[in-house]
Amino acid sequence: MADVIIYHNSDCGTSRNTLAMIRNAGIEPHVVEYLKTPPSRVMLLQLIERAGISPRQLLREKGTPYDTLGLGDESLTDAALVDAMMTHPILINRPLVVSPLGVRLCRPSEVVLNILPEPQRGAFAKEDGEQVVDAAGNCILPA
């Protein structure tokens, strides 16, 4: 069985949908509730690098102190943005998924289908009813 890790926030619908798609592939991932146990700075930097994104691309604005901290200032360095995420883990966008096929920020949630080592085992619809995978396990939406 492949080792898959999801940096998860159970209050986030996108994160819940992503976790459900991982499980729909027959994989029980390691679930890291990153607000309770945030990644170390080294791990966060590794995740960012492996996902092929910048710290700014990982920043979450909605429901966070993003505006209060002035994080929209384009002159802030990557190090400053990572410092903010370390101090306020809610600023780390979610869900981040690690699999043998790569690391992705799974927004939208169906992005996870690109890195799962196992196919979907059947139909899947998001919490809002949007069909993502058909009964044969084929992705309906572009992932």
Task: Tell me the β-bridge partners of 98.
Answer: 5, 103
Q: For residues 62 and 54, give the distance between their C-alpha atoms in angstroms, rounded to a whole number.
A: 18
- Cα dist from 12 to 26, 78, 118, 134, 136, whole Å: 22, 25, 24, 24, 27
Choosing from 6, 12, 106, 143, which is the catalytic residue? 12
106 a catalytic residue:
no
DSSP annotation of 5 reads: E
List residues with catalytic annotation: 12
